[in-house]
A = this chain, B = another copy of it.
């Protein structure tokens, strides 16, 4: 950017055979165009009432004309804080966490906080890498799915000194603040419900990943409650890959071949249950009369399959909203705390033997 003899500025815009090589406008470009100091322009942005109205207007016009967008790298570096919230989820498939993200993102938006998203896909190495990457942007806070992380992740998050909200799970060691529910209790409730409905032999089907501690906890709770009711063995058929209807159909098929006396099938997720229902129908098994099916998640289609699917509905919206609240509270000096969020058993036809 140069000043010519008359003191009028020459815009740094250059057109090179149609290609735009103009450098992105900075506060300095605006300052120069308006004829004030950088500092005044900055104040017009951060503290408008410290700038004369007329000047402010000219500055705003200039910004609009040049399509000025503040450089938050600079702002963040200088101000030592950003408005980024890192959000780390373990999966984006099948709306498992989509509505948490959705609610969280829009609640944060109201506070002018920006989501930086990472998906670990249940891979702990990826989790370390992603957490590191997110922290490198000096976020104001991090919200992360689960309370079971690789030690390095815990270390990094703790060392960061920012609020850390662990979502979706509770009941264990928490880094800072947790908002979720007890997955073992969910598993126990599934077992209880089936037993109450008169089902005897229970089976478990679905994706069970080495690093999905929540799923493991639910299974644990299921087995414990079944044992308490005198049901010793639970037939299991799991795979480490992600859940899907096809997986459910296949696993249920295999299960029925090896175990003829199955009373009810617990599915790790609704989408798996969709496939299980299909497998049962193909084999002429009636649901809920011959075999009961219960799942976890309450996918949007759970009430629409035939028979409608009994499942557990976590309150994802609430988790998202409370997480946003907790982030803001913690940033403003509030105390860390653990909040347990409700879930519901959606009693539908797939287990309705009695009313």
Contact = CB atoms under 8 A, between A and B. Distances in A.
Contacts of A116: 84, 114-117
A260 interface: no
Given A73-B77, A116-B116, A20 B161 contact: yes
A244 B118 contact: no
Given A73-B73, A73-B77, A95-B95, A67 B117 contact: no
Contacts of A115: 116-118
24 contacts: A20-B161, A24-B160, A69-B136, A71-B138, A72-B73, A72-B137, A73-B77, A77-B77, A92-B102, A92-B105, A94-B300, A95-B95, A102-B119, A105-B117, A105-B118, A109-B130, A114-B116, A114-B137, A116-B117, A245-B300, A245-B301, A274-B301, A301-B304, A306-B306
Contact of A98 (B93, B245, B278): B93
Chain A interface residue number, banded: 35 or more
A76 interface: yes
A249 to B, nearest CB: 9
Interface string A85-122: 00100001111001101100110010010111111010
Contacts of A98: 92-95, 98
B161 A304 contact: no
A76 B109 CA distance: 24
Nearest to A23: B161
Contacts of A138: 24, 71-73
B136 A70 contact: yes
A75 B76 CA distance: 12
A274 to B, nearest CB: 4
A277 interface: yes
Contact of A92 (B99, B112, B126, B304): B99
Contacts of A77: 71, 73-74, 77
Contact of A156 (B69, B130, B278): B69
A159 interface: yes
A102 B106 contact: no
Contact of A301 (B20, B93, B106, B305): B305
Contacts of A42: none
A82 interface: yes
A211 interface: no
A304 B61 CA distance: 56
Nearest to A74: B77
A303 interface: yes
B306 A305 contact: yes
A133 interface: yes
Contacts of A137: 72-73, 114
A1 to B, nearest CB: 16
Contacts of A102: 92-93, 119
Contacts of A73: 72-74, 76-77, 82, 137-138
A20 to B, nearest CB: 6
A140 interface: no
A73 to B, nearest CB: 4
A22 B159 CA distance: 9
A338 to B, nearest CB: 19
A132 interface: yes
A220 interface: no
